[in-house]
Structure 1
Protein backbone atom coordinates (compact mmCIF):
# COMPACT_ATOMS: atom_id res chain seq x y z
CA UNK A 1 0.00 0.00 0.00
CA UNK A 2 1.02 3.62 -0.52
CA UNK A 3 -0.04 7.06 0.62
CA UNK A 4 -0.17 9.81 -2.00
CA UNK A 5 0.17 13.53 -1.43
CA UNK A 6 0.63 16.50 -3.71
CA UNK A 7 4.41 16.12 -3.51
CA UNK A 8 5.05 12.38 -3.20
CA UNK A 9 3.89 8.79 -3.09
CA UNK A 10 5.13 7.10 0.08
CA UNK A 11 4.95 3.49 1.18
CA UNK A 12 2.70 2.75 4.14
CA UNK A 13 4.48 0.70 6.79
CA UNK A 14 2.59 -1.14 9.52
CA UNK A 15 4.23 -1.28 12.96
CA UNK A 16 2.48 -4.59 13.75
CA UNK A 17 1.53 -7.79 11.98
CA UNK A 18 -2.09 -8.18 11.07
CA UNK A 19 -4.84 -8.14 8.50
CA UNK A 20 -6.46 -4.96 7.21
CA UNK A 21 -10.16 -5.35 8.00
CA UNK A 22 -11.40 -1.88 7.05
CA UNK A 23 -10.23 1.07 4.94
CA UNK A 24 -11.49 4.62 5.48
CA UNK A 25 -12.76 5.40 1.98
CA UNK A 26 -13.96 8.82 3.18
CA UNK A 27 -10.34 10.01 3.02
CA UNK A 28 -10.56 10.09 -0.78
CA UNK A 29 -12.95 13.04 -0.53
CA UNK A 30 -11.36 14.55 2.59
CA UNK A 31 -7.68 13.60 2.88
CA UNK A 32 -6.99 16.60 5.13
CA UNK A 33 -8.67 14.63 7.90
CA UNK A 34 -5.49 12.57 8.25
CA UNK A 35 -3.71 15.65 9.64
CA UNK A 36 -6.71 17.31 11.27
CA UNK A 37 -8.11 14.34 13.19
CA UNK A 38 -6.19 11.07 12.88
CA UNK A 39 -8.01 9.63 15.90
CA UNK A 40 -11.43 10.68 14.64
CA UNK A 41 -12.39 11.05 10.95
CA UNK A 42 -8.78 10.77 9.73
CA UNK A 43 -8.07 7.14 10.54
CA UNK A 44 -6.70 5.24 7.53
CA UNK A 45 -7.11 1.54 8.23
CA UNK A 46 -8.34 -0.84 10.91
CA UNK A 47 -6.20 -3.89 11.55
CA UNK A 48 -6.96 -7.23 13.16
CA UNK A 49 -3.81 -7.88 15.19
CA UNK A 50 -2.09 -11.25 14.74
CA UNK A 51 0.29 -11.11 17.72
CA UNK A 52 -0.91 -8.94 20.61
CA UNK A 53 2.59 -9.04 22.13
CA UNK A 54 3.68 -6.66 19.35
CA UNK A 55 1.45 -3.99 20.89
CA UNK A 56 3.84 -3.82 23.86
CA UNK A 57 6.54 -2.49 21.53
CA UNK A 58 4.47 0.49 20.33
CA UNK A 59 4.84 4.01 21.73
CA UNK A 60 1.87 5.73 23.33
CA UNK A 61 0.54 8.64 21.25
CA UNK A 62 2.01 11.23 23.63
CA UNK A 63 5.44 9.59 23.58
CA UNK A 64 5.39 9.48 19.78
CA UNK A 65 4.42 13.16 19.57
CA UNK A 66 7.37 14.01 21.84
CA UNK A 67 9.67 11.83 19.72
CA UNK A 68 8.64 13.70 16.55
CA UNK A 69 8.99 17.08 18.29
CA UNK A 70 12.51 16.12 19.39
CA UNK A 71 13.42 15.18 15.81
CA UNK A 72 12.42 18.64 14.61
CA UNK A 73 14.10 20.54 17.47
Structure 2
Protein backbone atom coordinates (compact mmCIF):
# COMPACT_ATOMS: atom_id res chain seq x y z
CA UNK A 1 0.00 0.00 0.00
CA UNK A 2 1.29 3.43 -0.86
CA UNK A 3 0.52 6.31 1.52
CA UNK A 4 1.26 10.01 1.28
CA UNK A 5 0.13 13.31 2.75
CA UNK A 6 -2.95 14.33 0.76
CA UNK A 7 -1.64 14.10 -2.80
CA UNK A 8 -4.37 16.42 -4.11
CA UNK A 9 -2.49 19.22 -2.33
CA UNK A 10 0.63 18.42 -4.38
CA UNK A 11 -0.34 19.02 -8.01
CA UNK A 12 3.37 19.40 -8.85
CA UNK A 13 4.25 15.88 -7.72
CA UNK A 14 4.70 13.16 -10.32
CA UNK A 15 4.51 9.65 -8.92
CA UNK A 16 6.69 6.96 -10.47
CA UNK A 17 4.48 4.46 -8.66
CA UNK A 18 0.68 4.54 -8.55
CA UNK A 19 -0.81 7.46 -6.66
CA UNK A 20 -1.27 6.86 -2.93
CA UNK A 21 -4.07 4.54 -1.94
CA UNK A 22 -4.06 5.91 1.59
CA UNK A 23 -3.79 9.61 2.32
CA UNK A 24 -2.92 10.50 5.89
CA UNK A 25 -1.51 13.09 8.22
CA UNK A 26 1.07 11.28 10.34
CA UNK A 27 0.67 13.73 13.19
CA UNK A 28 -2.55 11.94 14.15
CA UNK A 29 -3.48 8.32 14.90
CA UNK A 30 -3.91 6.15 11.82
CA UNK A 31 -7.45 5.08 10.94
CA UNK A 32 -6.73 1.37 10.80
CA UNK A 33 -6.86 -1.56 13.19
CA UNK A 34 -3.91 -2.99 15.11
CA UNK A 35 -1.58 -5.61 13.63
CA UNK A 36 -2.38 -4.96 9.95
CA UNK A 37 0.94 -4.53 8.12
CA UNK A 38 3.93 -6.85 7.67
CA UNK A 39 6.27 -3.88 7.43
CA UNK A 40 6.41 -0.11 7.14
CA UNK A 41 8.93 1.85 5.08
CA UNK A 42 9.50 5.54 5.69
CA UNK A 43 12.12 7.73 4.11
CA UNK A 44 12.95 11.33 5.02
CA UNK A 45 10.06 11.49 7.48
CA UNK A 46 11.09 11.54 11.12
CA UNK A 47 13.43 14.51 10.79
CA UNK A 48 10.42 16.71 10.02
CA UNK A 49 8.72 16.03 13.36
CA UNK A 50 9.24 17.45 16.81
CA UNK A 51 10.68 14.76 19.07
CA UNK A 52 7.40 14.09 20.90
CA UNK A 53 5.52 13.81 17.62
CA UNK A 54 8.19 11.47 16.21
CA UNK A 55 7.87 9.23 19.27
CA UNK A 56 4.09 9.19 18.91
CA UNK A 57 4.43 8.31 15.22
CA UNK A 58 6.80 5.43 15.99
CA UNK A 59 4.36 4.10 18.59
CA UNK A 60 1.56 4.33 16.06
CA UNK A 61 3.64 2.50 13.44
CA UNK A 62 4.42 -0.20 15.99
CA UNK A 63 0.70 -0.52 16.76
CA UNK A 64 -0.26 -1.20 13.15
CA UNK A 65 2.57 -3.69 12.55
CA UNK A 66 1.81 -7.40 12.80
CA UNK A 67 3.71 -9.26 15.52
CA UNK A 68 7.35 -9.61 14.43
CA UNK A 69 6.70 -7.00 11.70
How does the TM-score come out when normalised to structure 2?
A: 0.29
Task: Write 1 or 2 for the structure with the bigger share of helix.
Answer: 1
Task: Write 1 or 2 for the structure with the bigger share of strand.
Answer: 1
How does the TM-score come out when normalised to structure 1?
A: 0.28
Larger radius of gyration: 1
